[in-house]
């Protein structure tokens, strides 16, 4: 697939006259136009229109389709694909208890702020609440851990339904990436379908993957960009998904870098490999006066113990995510520029010449 581009006009999709198929095809096409590249399908009867539409999009070269029979496996595959690509992955399941098998992956997506999109097929409203076969309460199933939950009435073939499906897909992607909230995470669409559940899907042409909406900056969370003043003996802590910005700050300030293997920042001359042992050593760990935290540290007891000390100033850099790592409930949570090419160190205005250099950093 080539570089993502934004379509000037929606792709033309031939109507079939079958409400389920037409809605499913428009919905998945809308996801692609909003930047989705991967669709995972755990197939079943009620979701057949979605499965067939996904297969056509792969045939047309518009999306990558991954079929997994087991919904739990499918959910975690979608989670991993989203983490790897950075774009929301759509996971499709049929109705009934199949939907519950996605709950572990949805919880992981919530905790890790991963913008996965769950599309569950459901019975129409007249078949709910009467103990119809393979039916349960799917609307709101994932509770408070999803960023948004939409219960979609079964399509009837009315004018404007394909446009509504495309608009819903775009909104779901925006909600998942935190375009207005800076709080990425999972989104749930529960879509009712009536029989007949599908017909043959017509060929799709001219569908182009669009650019993803941008995640909002830290101002959406009320987090400020701060000036990192020189003086205190400082270490940079890089937890999971911290990224190169942690190493950049450590290099610019000359601060020891305590980076976990999953941080994406375990490199550079400031890296302290044996940081766990050194944090237990009073001649190093005992002298730390300030810690700047990126990402989510999870691999040691020494780091949270450091951050919970009353004599250590703690700054947690969290430009996205409503929740931030704060084991002592006393950290100052701050943000940086949301622009992907912005320099963290420039935003924090730290410099070697300000007294924050390596001569003051080493504990």
Could you list the pLDDT tens digit for every one of the 363 residues in the chain? 343 434 445 666 789 999 999 999 999 999 999 999 999 999 999 999 999 999 999 999 999 999 999 999 999 999 999 999 999 999 999 999 999 999 999 999 999 999 999 999 999 988 787 777 777 889 999 999 999 999 999 999 999 999 999 999 999 999 999 999 999 999 999 999 999 999 999 999 899 999 999 999 999 999 988 878 778 999 999 999 999 999 999 998 899 999 999 999 999 999 999 999 999 999 999 999 999 999 999 999 999 999 999 999 999 999 999 999 999 999 999 986 222 233 333 333 333 333 333 333 444
Dist CA 282 CA 36 (whole Å): 50
Dist CA 182 CA 169 (whole Å): 19
Sign of the dihedral through C-alpha 79, 93, 27, 126:
negative
- pTM for this structure? 0.86
Dist CA 106 CA 173 (whole Å): 15
Residues 270-295: b if buried by 16+ CB within 10 A, e if exposed: bbbeebeebbeeeebbeebebbbbbb
Q: What is the DSSP secondary structure assignment for residue 69, as one 8-state letter?
A: S
Could you write out the DSSP letters of every residue in 259-323?
Answer: E-TTSS---STTB-TTHHHHHHSTTTGGG--EEEEESB--S-SHHHHHHT-TTSEEEEE-SS-SS
Going by C-beta distance under 8 Å and a sequence separation of 6 or more, which residues neighbour residue 327?
304, 307, 308
């Amino acid at each position: 697939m080539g570089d993502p581009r934004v379509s000037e006009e929606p792709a033309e999709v031939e109507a079939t006259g079958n409400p389920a198929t037409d809605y499913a095809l428009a919905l998945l096409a809308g996801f692609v136009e909003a930047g989705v590249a991967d669709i995972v399908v755990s197939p079943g009867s009620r979701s057949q229109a979605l499965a067939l539409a996904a297969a056509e999009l792969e045939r047309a070269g518009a999306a990558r389709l991954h079929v997994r029979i087991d919904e739990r496996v499918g959910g975690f595959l979608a989670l991993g694909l989203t983490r790897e690509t950075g774009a929301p992955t759509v996971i499709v399941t049929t109705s009934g208890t199949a939907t519950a098998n996605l709950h572990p992956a949805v919880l992981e997506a919530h905790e890790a702020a991963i913008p996965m999109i769950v599309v569950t097929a459901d019975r129409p409203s007249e078949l709910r609440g009467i103990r119809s076969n393979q039916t349960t309460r799917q609307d709101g199933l994932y509770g408070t851990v999803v960023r948004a939950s939409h219960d979609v009435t079964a399509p009837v073939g009315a004018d404007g339904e394909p446009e509504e499906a495309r608009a819903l897909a775009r909104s779901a992607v925006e909600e998942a990436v935190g375009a207005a909230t800076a709080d990425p995470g999972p989104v749930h669409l529960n879509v009712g379908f009536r029989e007949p559940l599908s017909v043959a899907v017509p060929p799709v042409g001219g569908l182009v993957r669009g650019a993803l909406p941008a995640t909002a900056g830290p101002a959406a969370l009320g987090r400020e960009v701060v000036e990192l003043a020189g003086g205190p003996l400082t270490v940079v802590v890089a937890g999971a998904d911290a990224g190169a910005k942690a190493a950049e700050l450590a290099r610019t300030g000359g601060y020891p870098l305590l980076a976990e293997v999953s941080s994406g920042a375990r490199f550079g001359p400031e890296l302290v490999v044996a940081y766990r042992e050194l944090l237990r050593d009073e001649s190093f760990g005992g002298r730390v006066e300030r810690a700047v935290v990126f990402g989510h540290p999870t691999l040691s007891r020494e780091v949270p113990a450091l951050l919970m000390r009353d004599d250590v100033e703690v700054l947690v850099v969290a430009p996205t995510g409503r929740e931030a790592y704060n084991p002592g409930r006393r950290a100052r949570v701050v943000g940086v520029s949301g622009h992907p090419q912005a320099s963290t160190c420039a935003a924090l205005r730290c410099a070697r010449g300000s007294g924050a250099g390596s001569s003051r950093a080493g504990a």
